[in-house]
Amino acid sequence: MHKHLNVNPEVKRALDDRRPVVALESTLITHGLPYPTNIDIALQMESAVRESGAVPATMAVLDGAVTVGMTEDQIRDLAERPAGTVRKCSRRDLPIAIANREYGATTVAATMIVANMVGINVFATGGIGGVHRGQPHDVSADLIELGRTPVAVVCSGPKSILDLALTLEVLETQGVPVLGFRTDVLPSFYSSHTDLQLDQRIDSTVEAARIIAAARSIGAQHGVLINAPVPEEHALDIGIAEAAIEQATAEAEEAGISGKDITPFVLERVSKLTDGKSRVANTALLINNARIAGKIAADLCQL
Ligand code: PSU
Ligand code: MN
């Protein structure tokens, strides 16, 4: 694996010195957010990690090299590549992208794999994959990865277009502690509340760090999922968010949009339907999660 691995020198120094590092994914840059705001948000997430006292490590496959800690130029270059030239890489896709010397964006699953390879324990993103509504066998590899790779993931719940109750069931089966950061219930991306109760509420980043450390102390091979709601002032009413998502999803189906084009299409339509409020919420939660993850990583280093 080593000859395909390219670790940014700043990230390598931090890891060698046992200083806090936070992994960030790149699928949200290439497939989740519109250009050019995707670049701004990726860089703002990195700044938020730094403000919390940790070093950011955004992951991607660049010309076949698994890259840990992209430079600003590499982030810009990846975001500017024409649609369809960057492979969305989950676990199964990584070997293909590496062997074929492709450009690949890492999902939550692939980012966890790469983080674990280099010894990064904490990772921040927006929404994880999950179980699809009406298609209980379409289970994101993110959930399986959380069951087999010891990396803590800070998110704002599963992507809003999923079946949240079934997603929690799969996480239970996979043995993943599902924590609420200052919440008793699962947040649902744009909205801060659902009626789904979580295993455990935590009110500080130190509590999260203690649970992650305890999992390691018993040799746990699974991850930990930390759900931080979108900051209240930017949260969308769940009814409004749901209605917009349903309409956008129906429009995508009518227009015959499929595969990787669905997410950008739906996000763009949801943004229009909510007067841009969904985009503001998306940005706010990503930066908030990056900040929380940075603090958890710093607390972990102190334990
Ligand atoms: N949430 C979003 N947009 C996204 C994703 C999540 O709002 O683009 C990405 C993440 O990278 C996540 C992936 O890991 O989608 C899950 O994809 P799938 O369901 O194909 O496993
Ligand atoms: Mn799927």
Over residues 20-60, the pLDDT tens digits come to 999 999 999 998 888 899 999 999 999 999 999 999 999 99
Ligand 2 centroid to residue 164 C-alpha, Å: 14
The alpha carbon dihedral of 123, 124, 125, 131 has a sign of positive
Q: Is the CB of 263 under 6 A from ligand 1?
A: yes
- Secondary structure in 3-state letters for 137-204: EEECHHHHHHCCCCCEEEECCECCCECHHHHHHHHHHCCCCEEEECCCECCECCECCCCCECCEEECC
Which atom number of ligand 1 is nearest to the Cα of residue 126?
1
Shortest-distance Cα residue to atom 10 of ligand 1: 107
The H or E element spanning position 98 is helix 94-99
User: What is the tally of structural domains in the chain?
Assistant: 1
104 lines ligand 1 (CB under 6 A): no
Q: Which two tokens stand for residue 28?
A: 């949200």
How far is the centre of ligand 1, averaged over its atoms, from the C-alpha of 156 (Å)? 12
Q: Single out the catalytic residue among 46, 88, 145, 159.
A: 159
Q: How many angstroms separate the CA atoms of 147 and 108, rounded?
A: 13
CA neighbor of 245 nearest in space, from 183, 188, 169, 167: 188
- 159 belongs to the catalytic site: yes
Integer angstrom CA distances of residue 213 from 9, 122, 150, 209: 26, 11, 11, 6
Q: Is the CB of 264 under 6 A from ligand 1?
A: no
> How many A from CA of 140 to the centre of ligand 2?
5
Q: Which atom of ligand 1 is nearest to the CA of 138?
A: 19
pLDDT at 2 (0 to 100): 67
| CA distances in angstroms from 261 to 76, 84, 116, 118, 163, listed in the order given | 20, 9, 30, 32, 20
- Does the CB atom of residue 52 touch ligand 1 within 6 A? no
Residues 211 and 106: their CA atoms lie apart, in Å, by 26
What is the enclosing helix (H) or strand (E) of 267?
helix 262-273
Whether 25 is catalytic = yes
For residue 182, give its domain range.
5-302
Q: Whose CA is nearest to atom 1 of ligand 1?
A: 127
Q: Is 27 in the pocket of ligand 1 (CB under 6 A)?
A: yes
Residues 6+ apart with CB under 8 A from 284: 230, 231, 234
pLDDT value, residue 80: 95
Out of 25, 145, 277, 295, which one is annotated catalytic?
25
Could you say which residues of the chain have pLDDT below 50?
none
Question: Which of 128, 116, 110 is CA-nearest to residue 226?
Answer: 128
- Classify the phi-psi angles of 163: left when phi > 0, otherwise alpha if psi is within -120 to 50, otherwise beta: beta
Q: Are 121 and 151 in contact (CB under 8 A)?
A: yes
Q: Could you count the other beta carbons within 10 Å of the beta carbon of residue 172?
A: 12
Q: Domain with 60 in it: what CATH number?
A: 3.40.1790.10
156 CB within 6 A, ligand 1: no
